[in-house]
Amino acid sequence: MRGKEIRLERIMRRDTGTTVIVPMDHGVTSGPIPGLIDLDRSVELVARGGANAVIGHMGLALHGHRKGGPDIGLILHLSASTDLGPDPNDKVLVNTVQNALKMGADGVSVHINIGAESEARMLQDLGSIAIECIEWGMPLLAMMYPRGKKINYDNMVDSIKIAARVASELGADIVKTVYTGDPDTFREVTEGCHVPVVIAGGSKSDDLTTLKLIEGSMEGGGAGVSIGRNAFQHKYPDKFVRAATMIVHERRSAEEAMEILNQD
């Protein structure tokens, strides 16, 4: 387990236990979208802004590795589906923990859609990967999303609470899930989960809305963010990430963080 502790410190700040992660795994799901055409440049910009880690598939490790610039943690994503598949919610394993170690990863991640028709198999995959991560001392981030016919989208809090708890019960070290909308209900999620919870960024939004979302999640006991499009598709990814780190690591307000984005 010492290996896990050491690697976790590469993707989470050891003094605060918080993290700013930028997922860049969208190339498999959606193809070469804006912001991810030039992978090494994208990694360079978010690293310059102070991101703790990036998430990506093998392509990120193979084609986004820089030989200079600020250091940044690598979380290798092990599951995938595409927007063109018959069921994009059906995630399958496409990589292994052992290969992630060979690629120099500091952690691995898997995506599980709670409530999807293929939930049972995805949960089986999560459990198996968690056991391998314990064996190899590899941190595991579980992306847990409530999606399916039984999900009550008018009252998502209970579904998000279940999704987060499932991940911690099955051995994840960090849980990524959606924000509930306010600090009080999000605290129900974080208090019901044994491990740190970070929020997803969701669809592309304006800066202040996204920063307020981050602020609210931290007030609700969150451990940080895992924000993709709002970071790498920003006009100034380095500035946006710096603003996010101010809220996550320094506990500054969204308004204070906006000052960074308003600077020339």
Of 122, 103, 20, residue with least CA distance to 59: 103
27 CB contacts (<8 Å, ≥6 apart)? 33, 36, 56, 57, 59
Where would I find the H helices in 12-56? 26-30, 39-49
The neighbour count for residue 168, using CB atoms within 10 Å, is: 19
Q: What is the dihedral of CA 172, 238, 227, 67, to 10 degrees?
A: -40
pLDDT tens per residue across span 11-51: 999 999 999 999 999 999 999 999 999 999 999 999 999 99
CB 99 within 8 A of CB 4: no
pLDDT tens for each residue of 62-94:
998 888 889 999 999 999 999 999 999 999 999
pTM of the predicted protein model: 0.96
- Name which of 125, 127, 133, 118 is nearest 170 in CA terms: 127
**Tokens of residue 225, six digits:** 């963010």
Measured CA to CA in angstroms, residue 147 lies from 67, 119, 182 at distances of 39, 10, 20
Hey, which residues are catalytic here?
25, 145, 176
Structure tokens at 261: 């984005």
**Does residue 243 surpass a pLDDT of 80?**
yes
Q: How far is residue 214 CA from its own chain's centroid?
A: 13
Q: Taking the CA atoms of 28, 100, 217 and 153 in sequence, report the sign of the dihedral they define.
A: positive
Q: Are 246 and 239 in contact (CB under 8 A)?
A: no
- pLDDT tens-digit map of 181-207: 999 999 999 999 999 999 998 777 899
| Structure confidence at residue 1 as a pLDDT band (50, 70, 90) | low
Instruction: Write down the residue that tokens 């102070």 correspond to.
Output: 50
| Dist CA 57 CA 36 (whole Å) | 12
Look-up of token digits 């960024």: 201
Whole-number Å distance between alpha carbons of 158 and 179 = 12
